[in-house]
């Protein structure tokens, strides 16, 4: 065992001794793994977002169709929907985008009205509050805003006040607090005054970043809906109900509606990023093959000095196996070091909001300039990334290690 | 102790074969001080490498203490090199990036000795060579003479009974020749077998018991 520890330490020392070679091999691995880890952490973030948001989605969402396009839906259909087997609750929802201009920035938020009298109690509502409280049935002129909205509007939120200040033009002393009132006046002429009673946590970024939640009646007033209109109707089923079956029945009953299950909505998010991750996967594959070929060429090429060194070591009784072990451990260390630094770099890049490519990652869902790409990092992802980085690099250098180990000492010393 | 019988050695250089040794036979007894003399390319270094198991014979046999080692596989040859032979190379061949004591201790690494044990052994050798003060100097920071002493130390650290030196006087100044001769005398007095290969025509030291003259890959009766 001591012998193998000694050989391991020799390999570690070789990394230091052959600094230039170590850097040359490690940098491409760092780049490859940075791309790989950024992809994985970001994709994980989107998927996690979608899964978290799934907890708040109704089983079935019904939208109205007007002249072939999504439009308002009439609440007249609610009594019939309630008759469908396993339907537990039905709630209309009024929502819409509100284009704003804040400090020369064109921003678009989502104002969403909730019918809290009819939506089943969801204990998760208590879990998602960063500050303040959620709406309760009967609340009027009150709003709960998303974390991203709060930051942009200059609310005191989160621990990193400095970061929050970067997102708005308000000075530290003028930061708003939960309980303050805001006036919303969009560029379409809609307006309303609301008291901010709570701020949503940052954990469901895609869904909460641009969200402002008010009562259904307030939303109706804001968007100018009548009492009999809604943007969509939310259908909740009991535990034994099948969302697909209910959706099918609804679409057959009301042909002028668009019916979507929660699963379908969640998949939309996953697929949207899936297509983009495909581009990065292709890039990564090219980078991956290049790095492997590079590692192969670098380790296959044994310099005169390194060859002589192997010859000298063999002349003092080092076995072929000893040399191979040292070379393999060197490769393992290149792979581990490059992969670890790459993972860290990818994680930091993702945390920084993937500067330069965030617009592409988020695509048309880019609500306002500072919207961050969601990041999710867990032990499983890190282990997987380590395996992806370390194993191929180590395996591809097995043959060069064997070639180095079997060098004829006589010829190596003469060279 | 060492018996070389009808040894031929050919190298492939490009598409042609180069004859390095041509039907060489000789015997060396334990404790003898042997001198291989001959011009460059005469085959003396090749035979030294065969005796030290660094190179293999093309045909013929090499017998070491009644064991025909010429065709042993690597995993038998390596321990033999480690335990029986100590090499001193013409260019010293110290490994850069390692200190003097680390170079001396290199042969001990595969033996599983801890760093502490290796350093202790190396320092004892350096003490014998009056080089303790340079123990932590990197190889490239040592003078030529000091490098040769470290190379000698590395050859002796395993306490081998056969010392092989290829052109040991070529890269040191006169000041260090005497020092080296003293070391060789000590080795001979300890009963070790010493084989030196050199381009000098006559033995370089009075310690020599037997001289073999090499010419065109063969042993000639007179230089």
| Average pLDDT for A132-141 | 87
Confidence of residue A366 (pLDDT cuts 50, 70, 90): very low
Q: What is the pLDDT of residue A280?
A: 61
Exposed/middle/buried for A23, CB within 10 Å: 0-12, 13-18, 19+?
Answer: exposed
Q: Which of B40, B91, B110 to mutate to test the interface with A (most CBs of A within 10 A)?
A: B110
Q: Which residues in chain A have Cβ-Cβ distances shorter than 8 Å to B74?
A: 319-320
DSSP annotation string for A114-158: E-TTTSPP-THHHHTEEEE----TT--SEEEE-HHHHHHTTB--S
Three state DSSP letters for A324-345: HHHHHHHHHHHHHHHHHHHHHH
Alpha helices in B106-172 (DSSP H): 115-128, 144-156
The residues that bridge with A169 in the sheet, in sequence order, are none
| A339: closest CA of chain B, how far (Å) | 26
Question: Helix, strand, or coil here: A188?
Answer: coil
**Beta-carbon count within 10 A of B114 CB:** 12
Q: Which residues in chain A have Cβ-Cβ distances shorter than 8 Å to B54?
A: 311, 314-315, 409-410, 413
DSSP B151: H
Q: What is the pLDDT of residue A225?
A: 92
Structure tokens at A97: 């985008």
Whole-number Å distance between alpha carbons of A380 and A378: 5
Whole-number Å distance between alpha carbons of A150 and A168: 10
| A397: closest CA of chain B, how far (Å) | 22
Q: Which residues in chain A have Cβ-Cβ distances shorter than 8 Å to B197?
A: none
pLDDT digits (tens, 9 = 90+) for A22-41: 888 888 888 888 887 877 77
Per-chain mean pLDDT for chain A = 79
Residue A50 has pLDDT above 70, yes or no: no
pTM confidence score = 0.64
Residue B99 has pLDDT above 70, yes or no: yes
- Chain-chain contact of A2 with B55 (C-beta, under 8 angstroms): no
Q: Which residues in chain B have Cβ-Cβ distances shorter than 8 Å to A16?
A: 97
- Chain-chain contact of B54 with A413 (C-beta, under 8 angstroms): yes
User: Where are any strands of DSSP class E within chain B?
Assistant: 2-13, 16-28, 33-37, 59-64, 67-68, 85-88, 162-166, 193-198, 210-215, 218-220
A145 backbone dihedrals φ, ψ, rounded to 5° = -115, 155
| B75: closest CA of chain A, how far (Å) | 7
Q: What is the pLDDT of residue B222?
A: 63
Whole-number Å distance between alpha carbons of B100 and B96: 10
Which residue is closest to B55 within chain A, CA to CA? A410
- Chain-chain contact of B78 with A319 (C-beta, under 8 angstroms): yes
Q: Whose structure tokens read 């100590």?
A: B86
Asked if residues A373 and A350 have their Cβ atoms less than 8 Å apart, the reply is yes
Whole-number Å distance between alpha carbons of A95 and A272: 22
Q: What is the pLDDT of residue A363?
A: 47
Whole-number Å distance between alpha carbons of A295 and A193: 63
| Nearest Cβ partner for B54 among A2, A7, A410 | A410
Q: Which residues in chain B have Cβ-Cβ distances shorter than 8 Å to A319?
A: 74-75, 78-79, 110
| Average pLDDT for A99-115 | 79
Q: What is the pLDDT of residue A128?
A: 72
- Chain-chain contact of A410 with B55 (C-beta, under 8 angstroms): yes
Whole-number Å distance between alpha carbons of B46 and B50: 6
Q: Which of B18, B41, B49, B54 to mutate to test the interface with A (most CBs of A within 10 A)?
A: B54
The answer to whether B109 faces chain A, any CB pair under 8 Å, is: yes
What is the maximal distance between C-alpha atoms in chain B? 50
DSSP annotation string for A273-294: HHHHHHHHHHHHHHHHHHHHHH
| B55: closest CA of chain A, how far (Å) | 6
Question: Helix, strand, or coil here: A240?
Answer: coil
| Average pLDDT for A183-198 | 85
The answer to whether A330 faces chain B, any CB pair under 8 Å, is: no
DSSP annotation string for A23-88: HHHHHHHHHHHHHHHHHHHHHHHHHHHHHHHHTTS-SEEEEEEETTEEE-EEGGGHHHHHTSTTEE
DSSP A349: H
The answer to whether A318 faces chain B, any CB pair under 8 Å, is: yes
DSSP B95: P
Residue B98 has pLDDT above 80, yes or no: yes
Going from the C-alpha of A157 to that of each of A145, A164, A196, A350, A402, the distances in angstroms are 11, 7, 13, 22, 59
| Nearest Cβ partner for B110 among A9, A322, A410 | A322
Q: Whose structure tokens read 């970061």?
A: A163
The answer to whether B43 faces chain A, any CB pair under 8 Å, is: no
The residues that bridge with A94 in the sheet, in sequence order, are A113
Q: What is the pLDDT of residue A273?
A: 57
Cα angle A319-A325-A331, degrees, rounded to a multiple of 5:
145
- Chain-chain contact of B89 with A413 (C-beta, under 8 angstroms): yes
Structure tokens at B138: 């990197």
Residue A162 has pLDDT above 60, yes or no: no
Say what percent of chain A tops pLDDT 70. 75
Asked if residues A358 and A372 have their Cβ atoms less than 8 Å apart, the reply is yes
Between residues B147 and A398, the one the model is more confident about: B147
| A394: closest CA of chain B, how far (Å) | 22
Q: Which residues in chain A have Cβ-Cβ distances shorter than 8 Å to B114?
A: 2, 6
| Average pLDDT for A217-225 | 91
Q: What is the pLDDT of residue B70?
A: 84
* B residues 59..98 contacting A (CB < 8 A): 74-75, 78-83, 85, 87, 89, 93, 95-98
Q: What is the pLDDT of residue B74?
A: 79
| B115: closest CA of chain A, how far (Å) | 8
Residue A270 has pLDDT above 70, yes or no: no
Question: Helix, strand, or coil here: B139?
Answer: helix
């Amino acid at each position: 065992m001591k012998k193998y520890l000694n050989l391991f330490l020799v390999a570690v020392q070789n990394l230091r001794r052959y600094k230039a070679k170590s850097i040359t091999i490690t940098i491409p691995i760092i780049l490859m793994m940075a791309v790989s880890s950024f992809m994985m952490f970001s994709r994980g973030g989107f998927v996690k977002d979608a899964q978290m948001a799934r907890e708040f989605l109704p089983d079935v969402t019904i939208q109205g169709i007007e002249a072939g396009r999504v439009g308002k839906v009439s609440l007249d259909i609610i009594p019939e929907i309630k008759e469908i087997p396993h339907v537990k609750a039905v709630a209309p929802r009024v929502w819409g985008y509100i284009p704003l201009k804040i400090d020369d920035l064109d921003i678009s938020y989502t104002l969403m009205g909730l019918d809290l009298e009819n939506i089943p109690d969801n204990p998760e509502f208590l879990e998602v509050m960063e500050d303040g409280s959620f709406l309760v049935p009967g609340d009027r002129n009150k709003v709960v805003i998303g974390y991203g909205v709060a930051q942009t509007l200059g609310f005191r939120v989160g621990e990193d006040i400095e970061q929050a200040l970067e997102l708005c033009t308000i000075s530290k002393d003028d930061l708003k607090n939960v309980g303050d009132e805001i006036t919303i006046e969009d560029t379409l002429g809609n307006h309303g005054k609301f008291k901010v009673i709570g701020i949503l946590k940052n954990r469901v970024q895609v869904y909460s970043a641009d969200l402002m939640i008010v009562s259904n009646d307030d939303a109706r007033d804001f968007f100018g809906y009548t009492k009999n209109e809604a943007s969509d109707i939310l259908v909740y089923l009991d535990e034994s109900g099948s969302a697909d079956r209910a959706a099918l029945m609804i679409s057959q009953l009301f042909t002028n509606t668009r019916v979507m299950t929660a699963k379908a909505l969640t998949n939309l998010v996953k697929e949207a990023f899936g297509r983009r991750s495909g581009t990065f996967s292709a890039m990564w594959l090219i980078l991956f093959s290049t790095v492997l070929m590079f590692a192969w060429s670098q380790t296959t090429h044994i310099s005169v000095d390194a060859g002589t060194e192997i010859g000298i070591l063999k002349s003092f009784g080092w076995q072929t196996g000893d040399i191979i072990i040292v070379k393999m451990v060197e490769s393992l260390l290149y792979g581990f070091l490059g992969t670890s630094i790459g993972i860290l770099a990818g994680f930091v890049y993702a945390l920084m909001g993937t500067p330069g490519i965030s617009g592409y990652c988020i695509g048309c869902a880019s609500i306002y300039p500072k919207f961050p790409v969601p990041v999710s990092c867990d032990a499983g992802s890190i282990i997987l990334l380590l395996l992806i980085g370390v194993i191929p690099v180590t395996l591809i250098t097995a043959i060069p290690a064997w070639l180095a180990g079997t060098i004829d000492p006589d010829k190596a010393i003469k060279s | 102790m060492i018996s070389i019988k009808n040894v031929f050695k050919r190298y492939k250089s490009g598409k042609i074969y180069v004859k390095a040794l041509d039907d060489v036979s000789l015997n060396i007894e334990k404790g003898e001080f042997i001198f291989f003399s001959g011009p460059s390319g005469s085959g003396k270094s090749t035979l030294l490498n065969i005796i030290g198991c660094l190179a293999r014979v093309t045909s013929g046999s090499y017998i070491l203490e009644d064991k025909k080692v010429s065709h042993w596989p690597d995993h038998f040859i390596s321990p033999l090199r480690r335990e029986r032979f100590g090499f001193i190379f013409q260019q010293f061949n110290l490994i850069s990036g390692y200190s003097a004591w680390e170079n001396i201790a290199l042969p001990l690494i595969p033996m599983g000795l801890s760093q502490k044990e290796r350093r202790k052994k190396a320092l004892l050798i350096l003490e014998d060579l009056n080089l303790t003060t340079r123990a932590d100097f990197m190889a490239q920071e040592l003078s030529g003479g000091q490098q040769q002493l470290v190379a000698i130390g590395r050859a002796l650290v395993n306490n081998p009974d056969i010392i092989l030196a290829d052109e040991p006087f070529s890269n040191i100044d006169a000041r260090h020749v005497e020092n080296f001769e003293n070391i060789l005398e000590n080795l001979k007095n300890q009963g070790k077998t010493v084989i030196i290969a050199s381009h000098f025509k006559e033995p370089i030291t009075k310690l020599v018991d037997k001289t073999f003259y090499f010419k065109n890959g063969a042993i000639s009766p007179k230089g």
